[in-house]
Amino acid sequence: MKKSQLLPSLSLFALLCSSPTWAGSPPAPFRCDIMKPALTAGKLSSCNDKVSWQYGLDDIRKTNPALFERTVQAQIAANSNVGSAIFTLPDGKKKTIYRSSFLNKAPGCINELVEKGGVRSVVNLYNKGDLDSHTQLSIEEKEHFQKAGAQIYTDVLNYQYKFKEVKKEKIIEKVAEIISVVKSVPGNVLMHCYGGMHRTGLVFAVMQKCFNKVPLEQVLNEYHCHVAYESEEKAGGRHKDNEELIRDYPCEKLSK
């Protein structure tokens, strides 16, 4: 480029940078399409990475629990919340871990996870919560995975993530126990809870932080993408206990 061509461009850049509207512009909105990679389901065309959060659900939970549960079931049926990452484990081996909500209404996704994604094991993290339908969803999902050719379907017992229910230290220990299971089961793994947000998000984030050495800001961005976070004012299902545990989790717990 000739010098005479370069100078106008530089002048324009300086003008933009010194402009009051430039300096006073609001921050760019949070965008999950640039906050990945864990959000993407890769080439699994039958799986979707959509996630939804309906504001006001807590009020419905209090006044009409049955409607609340039906609403949540409809949401996860439409929004599989699939993501994935390749993890380098402490022994140097690599394993792809997929994450999602319950997939009992997504048999096409299940088939692709097994056939194309190499998933041989499923780790279900939702076995203790206030959504009683999880038992039937698990039965249906397990049947689909067995037909597709998966070898292992494991239910993790007594996993809670809120400090008001379990002490922080106990959650840290439980997460380490779950990750030990994920490491030991055969093949690539699908890990999920009910909606793929909190229980799953915490374990996945800790693995990204501790095994893949992903920077904390990116780990939290990925967590936010899977809880339908848009901003501090529209924070979706974001849970501050999750975020605190992600920040503070001692990676030495996973060194064995």
State the average pLDDT over residues 39-50.
78
Give the span between the Cα atoms of 223 and 234, in whole angstroms. Answer: 15
Structural domain for 113, as ranges? 30-254
21 inside domain: no
Give the CATH number for residue 82. Answer: 3.90.190.10
State the average pLDDT over residues 221-241.
94
Question: To the nearest 10°, the Cα dihedral for 222, 223, 225, 228?
Answer: 180
pLDDT of residue 256: 66
Q: How confident is the model at residue 15 (pLDDT cuts 50, 70, 90)?
A: very low
pLDDT of residue 215: 94
Tell me the range of 5-9, 36-40, 89-93, 179-183 where mean pLDDT is highest: 179-183
Give the span between the Cα atoms of 208 and 246, in whole angstroms. Answer: 10
192 inside domain: yes
19 inside domain: no
Q: How confident is the model at residue 172 (pLDDT cuts 50, 70, 90)?
A: very high
pLDDT of residue 22: 42
Domain count, the chain: 1
Q: How confident is the model at residue 217 (pLDDT cuts 50, 70, 90)?
A: very high
pLDDT of residue 142: 97
Q: How confident is the model at residue 165 (pLDDT cuts 50, 70, 90)?
A: very high
Give per-residue pLDDT as tens, 54-94.
888 888 888 998 999 999 999 999 999 999 999 999 999 99
18 inside domain: no
* DSSP-assigned beta bridge partners for residue 95: 87
pLDDT of residue 17: 42
pTM equals 0.85
69 inside domain: yes
User: What percentage of the chain has pLDDT greater than the value 70?
Assistant: 84
Backbone phi and psi for residue 183, each to the nearest 5 degrees, phi listed first: -65, -35
Contacts of 239 (CB under 8 A, 6+ apart): 161, 162, 198, 227
In the predicted model, is pLDDT for residue 29 greater than 70? no
169 inside domain: yes
16 inside domain: no
242 inside domain: yes
In the predicted model, is pLDDT for residue 233 greater than 70? yes
pLDDT of residue 27: 56
pLDDT of residue 195: 95
Query: Given CA atoms 204, 208, 210, 211 in this order, what sign does their dihedral have?
Result: positive
Q: How confident is the model at residue 182 (pLDDT cuts 50, 70, 90)?
A: very high
